[in-house]
């Protein structure tokens, strides 16, 4: 199992919409998350900076392949069409990168 964490900025005018979407996440999206070997997935919001941090456990053997599988799913693409406009990648993100990966520097279990 690997722990993964990612960060992105939430557009201030989209906070309520983003929270509402995630309060009512589509069953197909939750099923796809599980199918891609993701468990214990949480998204945290830090206001007033409008920073979103996503944290999950990856229980598969090929993270890149599972993320590609997720990106090819039609329902996930519809979901992202709603959530992507709510977000702005960090200034430090690589070209084409939305959620910027974070390095784990400490974990206590």
Domain holding 24: CATH number?
3.30.70.100
Rounded to an integer, the average pLDDT of 8-23 is 98
b/e burial code for range 64-78 (CB count within 10 A of at least 16 → b): eebeebbeebeebee
* Confidence label for 109 from pLDDT (cuts 50, 70 and 90): confident
Question: Does some domain include residue 38?
Answer: yes
Here the contacts of 10-19 (C-beta below 8 Å, separation 24 or greater) are: 10/45, 10/50, 10/51, 10/52, 10/86, 10/87, 10/88, 11/50, 11/85, 11/86, 11/87, 11/88, 12/50, 14/85, 14/86, 14/87, 15/45, 15/47, 15/50, 17/86, 18/83, 18/86, 18/87, 19/45
Active-site positions read: 22
- Count: domains in the chain: 1
Write out the residue range of the structural domain in which residue 77 sits.
Answer: 2-101
- Whether this prediction's pTM lies above 0.75 is answered by yes
CA atoms within 13 A on the CB side of 81: 6
Question: Does some domain include residue 96?
Answer: yes
Question: Does some domain include residue 106?
Answer: no
Question: Does some domain include residue 64?
Answer: yes
Rounded to an integer, the average pLDDT of 22-26 is 98
Question: Does some domain include residue 107?
Answer: no
Rounded to an integer, the average pLDDT of 80-92 is 97
């Amino acid at each position: 199992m690997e722990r993964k964490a990612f960060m992105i900025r939430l557009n201030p005018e989209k906070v309520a919409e983003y929270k509402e979407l995630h309060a009512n996440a589509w069953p197909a999206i939750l099923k796809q998350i599980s199918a891609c070997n993701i468990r214990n997935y949480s998204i945290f919001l830090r206001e007033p900076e409008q920073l979103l941090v996503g944290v999950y456990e990856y229980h598969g053997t090929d993270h890149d392949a599972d993320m590609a599988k997720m990106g090819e799913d039609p329902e996930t693409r519809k979901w992202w069409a709603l959530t992507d406009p709510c977000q702005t990648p960090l200034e430090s993100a690589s070209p084409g990168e939305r959620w910027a990966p974070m390095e784990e520097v400490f974990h206590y279990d």
